[in-house]
């Protein structure tokens, strides 16, 4: 298949992320989760996931940024590093990387062609995500990566990435998100995420949540390292274009390292990644290596500045904890006379909690409600009603369903010293990113 044909073939499969390909009336909840399809697919491909060591990451927030920082550290160390993250913002190829570079179109098409040749031997057709996981693992084996950094798609226990057998598992944190799939309490969600922990492996916890410790220990990791106890952020200061951090790990204390990511929450993500890198390498990293990695890492769609005069910020925060982190980061490092929020969300969100966490200023800010092009998108009128209940005036709330048009209107109306923040969903952020040239 050529690239265009490969994309059409991939898109013909059920996509639980967007709701595409799911027949009307079918319950989307994971009522009968299984690893049978991905196991069958990878077996037919020769079990490529057994050909390389891996570090497996899950968590409610921060896992993609942590994966990118970890990848940058291992690449700076001189390793050949594959990485798999999700979802993507603009092109599906973003999910599969080698040494931080997105897989090319021809390589991607060749991978999907190989998967397509074995799919016919599986009784139950794999999903969009399962195909991507199998393709990524196949490529990592083909290019002989020294290690793969793999982020789960959802949860952990029943996620397609869990055909891996990883010596290091990372759980950034556990909060309430995707409750319709993973459970209504943090304990239930932690149980799902704990499914990636292998017996006898090393577990890195990016958040100290004592009530969840027994859940993780049941999986019998040989060793557990926890943020605040075994590694920590000793100092975190705002700097031009990012942070200046001191991080202490069990092996070393790294001082005055510039981290090229915005937001105070990124310091802990960096500490979690650095601890994980040390564990994989079995030694501390040279300070120069950490400086190179931290100074070059990028995490698109995470407090990403994509325009100035007015300042345009994209952030994929989509749950209460993420929105609170965004609000804190804006308060600390992005003061503004007036701010316009371009917001869209997925169905199932508590929209009143959404605005309480985002905390726009009713006196100076305004909100433009929009929606991503997915069947899971929340009606923007529902968001607008919540914005009014929050306390914004009727003249400060607009509904513009198309993301590009919403961003264009925000830019048109903003003063040169104002800010525009696009948030609420990675799908909205991806659409905004793609529309930037037209919006300006």
Residue that wins the pLDDT comparison between 35 and 348: 35
Q: Cite the DSSP H helix spans in 124-218.
A: 128-142, 179-182, 186-193, 213-217
Q: What is the pLDDT of residues 99-143, one digit of tens each?
A: 999 999 999 999 999 999 999 999 889 999 999 999 999 999 999
Cis link prior to 236 (omega < 30° from 0)? no
- pLDDT attached to residue 92: 98
The string of pLDDT tens digits covering residues 209-259 is: 999 999 999 999 999 999 999 999 999 999 999 999 999 999 999 999 999
* Phi–psi pair at 327, nearest 5 degrees: -60, -40
Q: Do residues 383 and 369 touch, judged by C-beta distance below 8 A?
A: yes
Yes or no: say if 415 and 338 are a contact pair by the CB < 8 Å rule.
yes
As a whole number, mean pLDDT of residues 84-103 equals 97
CA distance 13 to 53: 29
pLDDT of residue 32: 58
Rounded percentage of the chain residues whose pLDDT exceeds 90: 88
- Average pLDDT value for the chain: 94
Give the per-residue pLDDT at 25. 47
Prior bond to 282 cis, omega within 30?
no
- What superfamily does domain 3-296 belong to in CATH? Mur-like, catalytic domain (3.40.1190.10)
Q: Where are the domains of the chain?
A: 3-296, 304-439
3-state secondary structure of 398: strand
Say what the pTM is.
0.94
Q: Which pLDDT score is estimated for 83?
A: 99
Of 18-22, 62-66, 379-383, the least confident: 18-22
* pLDDT digits 0-9 by tens, 4-33: 999 999 999 998 887 655 544 444 444 457
**Quick one: fold of 304-439?**
3.90.190
């Amino acid at each position: 298949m050529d690239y265009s044909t490969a994309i059409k073939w991939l898109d013909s499969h059920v996509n639980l992320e967007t709701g595409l390909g799911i027949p009307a009336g079918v319950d989307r909840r994971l009522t009968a989760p299984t690893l049978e399809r991905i196991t069958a697919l990878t077996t037919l491909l020769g079990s490529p996931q057994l050909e390389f060591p891996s570090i497996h990451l899950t968590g409610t927030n921060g896992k993609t940024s942590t994966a990118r920082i970890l990848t940058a550290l291992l690449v700076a160390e001189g390793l050949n590093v594959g990485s798999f993250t999700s979802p993507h913002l603009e092109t599906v190829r973003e999910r599969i990387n080698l040494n931080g570079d997105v897989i090319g179109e021809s390589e991607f098409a060749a991978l999907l062609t190989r998967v397509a040749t074995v799919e016919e031997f599986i009784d139950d057709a794999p999903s969009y995500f399962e195909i991507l996981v199998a393709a990524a693992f196949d490529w990592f084996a083909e290019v002989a990566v020294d290690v793969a950094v793999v982020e789960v798609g959802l949860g952990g226990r029943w996620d397609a990435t869990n055909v891996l057998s990883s010596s290091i598992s990372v759980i950034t944190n556990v909060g309430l998100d995707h409750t319709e799939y993973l459970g209504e309490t943090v304990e239930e969600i932690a149980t799902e995420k704990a499914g990636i922990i292998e017996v006898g492996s090393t577990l890195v916890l990016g958040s100290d949540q004592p009530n969840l410790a027994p859940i993780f220990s049941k999986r019998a990791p040989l060793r557990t390292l926890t943020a605040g106890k075994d590694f920590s952020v000793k100092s975190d200061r705002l700097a031009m274009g990012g942070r200046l951090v001191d991080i202490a790990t069990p092996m070393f204390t790294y001082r005055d390292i510039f981290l090229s990511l915005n937001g105070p929450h990124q310091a802990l993500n960096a500490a979690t990644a650095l601890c994980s890198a040390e564990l994989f390498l079995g030694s501390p990293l040279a300070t120069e290596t950490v400086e190179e990695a931290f100074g070059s890492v990028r995490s698109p769609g995470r407090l990403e500045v994509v325009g100035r005069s007015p300042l345009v910020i994209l952030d994929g925060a989509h749950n209460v904890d993420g929105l609170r982190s965004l609000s804190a980061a804006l308060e600390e490092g992005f003061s503004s006379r007036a701010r316009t929020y371009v917001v869209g969300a997925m169905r199932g969100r508590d929209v009143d909690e959404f605005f309480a966490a985002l905390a726009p200023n009713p006196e100076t800010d305004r909100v433009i409600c929009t929606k991503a092009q997915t069947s899971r998108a929340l009606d923007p009128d529902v968001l607008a009603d919540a914005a009014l209940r929050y306390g914004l005036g009727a003249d400060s709330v607009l509904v513009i369903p198309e993301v590009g048009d919403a961003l264009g209107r925000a830019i048109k109306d903003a003063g040169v010293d104002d800010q525009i923040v696009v948030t609420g969903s990675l799908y909205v952020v991806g659409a905004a990113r793609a529309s930037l040239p037209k919006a300006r």
